[in-house]
Amino acid sequence: MTLVQEFDQLNYSQALESDAEAQAWLQSKGRRFGHYINGAFVSAADAQLIDITNPATAEVLGQIEMATNAQVDLAIASAREAQSSWFSSGGLGRAKVLYALARNLQKYARLAAVLETLDNGKAIRESRDADIPLAIRHFYHHAGWAKLQYQELPNHGPVGVAAQIIPWNFPLLMLAWKVAPAIAMGNTIVIKPAQQTPLTAMLFAQICHESGVPAGVVNIINGAGETGACLAAHTGVDKVAFTGSTAVGRAIRLATAGQGKKLTLELGGKSAFIVFEDADLDAAVEGLVDSIWFNQGEVCCAGSRLLVQAPIAKQLHAKLKLRMQQLRTGSPLDKSIDVGSLVSQQQFERVNSMVSEGLQAGGELFQAQSIDAPQNYYPPTLITGVDTSHPLVQEEIFGPVLVSMTFRTQAEAISLANNSRYGLAASVWSESINRTMDVAPKIEAGVVWINCHNQFDAACGFGGVKESGFGREGGKEGLYEYLKPTGLTPIAYPQSSSDTTQVALALKGTDSIDRTLKFYVGGKQVRPDSGHSLACYNHDASVAGMVGVGNRKDIRNAVSGAVKASSWTNSSAHGRAQVIYFLAENLSLREGEWLERLQALCGYSLDQAQAEFAAAISCLFTYAGWCDKYDGAVHHAPYHGVT
């Protein structure tokens, strides 16, 4: 065999992510999980149990306990008791807790990614590169909003206790999506994760415990749909946030009618993916991969309806089929696969049944791979030759199934896109910015992307219209979902007490080490060009240290260094926020040194020094929080889909 023939026959080999750490974590918990209530893990010996199964292998990973009505009552009572003190801790206090959650979630990022893949069946590269980073981003972003709450959201206060019901398709991401804005605004929460995928919620409970979240602020109860129904209808709950099917969302709205609860419902979707004849077809094909086959199509805003302009339909379909043949389906822990397992055997049977029955009404099926795969693997699927009334066009399949139709004119594309009872998201693909900006506002959807799809960020509000629900999660608009007007009475800033009495501080002996300080220019410490130093004095006229005296050349170098620092200006808003947060964190680690220096230099009492130091940290948190809050009507989203 020649070298060329060898290269022609090259194939992928497995690159499995180890699950040893995740299995060890499960074993350390006895593979049994109760609830997290009032800052403690709660378990009952006689509890009803549900198996947690790896959908890709049918391996039983562990068991969860079903919450009783009494445990639901206890969780809500704990949240109610903690709410007032949590809000009274102030914006900075809450910001520090959210920041700690973000940092600790980063520390557990790989464990969380593997647990998510074992629990849900999604490809490890998606949980590792998309879900977990975006979950962390939500806590960082909302840490900033917590600090800015009093200035930016005046005359509003927290709603109180929020019940949050999490779906199984993005267990940790949807948890972060809901938890971060709720607790940032001073609410306390009771979370019910999906019974199929509770593991990362239990890991999050551990992270809350380690991050110093006060008892009762975050409570997590496990259970099936009945537990969620009990939680949503409970009279002790002020707000319900639900992500799931339209049918269940409708039932929640009916059950809570007349109770005065605020509702956020993010429900089903049948998003249109509109490709005009002047679009970049190669980019559109990759966009389709991220749109419908990301997370096995188990995405509420998946671009499951492809609307392509008639003159380019054959060309686009040919490119798409070629790309589908290159998609790899296999073990979710394999870092080189594209499509993992559906979440359960029940979901696999639902998708398979919908496609089989739908094809009886017409349509041409294309699957690049066999459906005879083990367990719950459903191959990427394309169905063409259907019209807008076809059941597969109108019904949400919630699997890796794309249906395609053609249109002739721009007006027809808009009409087809809007011919759905859903209105969650859509995307428009064209090289003409005038066309995209004309079409986008005419589409009845909560979110419209231009030449991209499935782009999310904590700074951008997300939500639907029509039967896709109402309310927004993310961005400033998402904060109002967890706030209520407080009238015209201003919200008082939490004040820290300080003793204004000055107490003399006995100076320490002279340090023998030379303390002549250098300049900091261009990212490094440099000696002054002048060669001269200047004494700085403590409050009692003793010499505190020596600093350099700058001359014209030092000033020129400093200005030049600032001008050349374009990387800071061009970095993402999120990146700049991280640097400022990190600066505050490192200053806090040296608090003792700063307090001594402030007392010596300024003659402060200890309380005065602590007050100034706290004000400095508060200032850094404030401007870190501002970094990524306002970027205009068109949002810049730093996290992108995975191709």
Given a contact cutoff of 8 angstroms between Cβ atoms, the answer to whether 341 and 56 are in contact is yes
**Encoding tokens for residue 19?**
């699950």
DSSP 130: I
How many residues are recorded in the chain? 643
Contacts of 71 (CB under 8 A, 6+ apart): 35, 37, 42, 44, 221
DSSP string, 255-287: HHTTTT-EEEEE-----EEEE-TTS-HHHHHHH
Catalytic residue among 17, 126, 208, 300: 300
- β-strand pairing of 519-521 with 465-466: unpaired
Catalytic residue among 17, 116, 126, 266: 266
Q: How far apart are the first and last CA of the chain?
A: 34
Contacts of 571 (CB under 8 A, 6+ apart): none
Helical pair 591-602 and 573-589, crossing angle rounded to 10 deg: 70
Contacts of 523 (CB under 8 A, 6+ apart): 561
Q: Does the annotation mark 536 as catalytic? A: no
Q: Which of 640, 632, 630, 637 is nearest to 145 (CA)?
A: 630
* Torsion angle in degrees (nearest 10) through CA of 105, 111, 113, 116: -110
Burial 121-157 (b: 16+ CB within 10 A, else e): bbbbbbbbbbbbbbbbbbbbbbbbbbbbbbebbeebb
Q: Does the annotation mark 300 as catalytic? A: yes
Catalytic residues: 266, 300
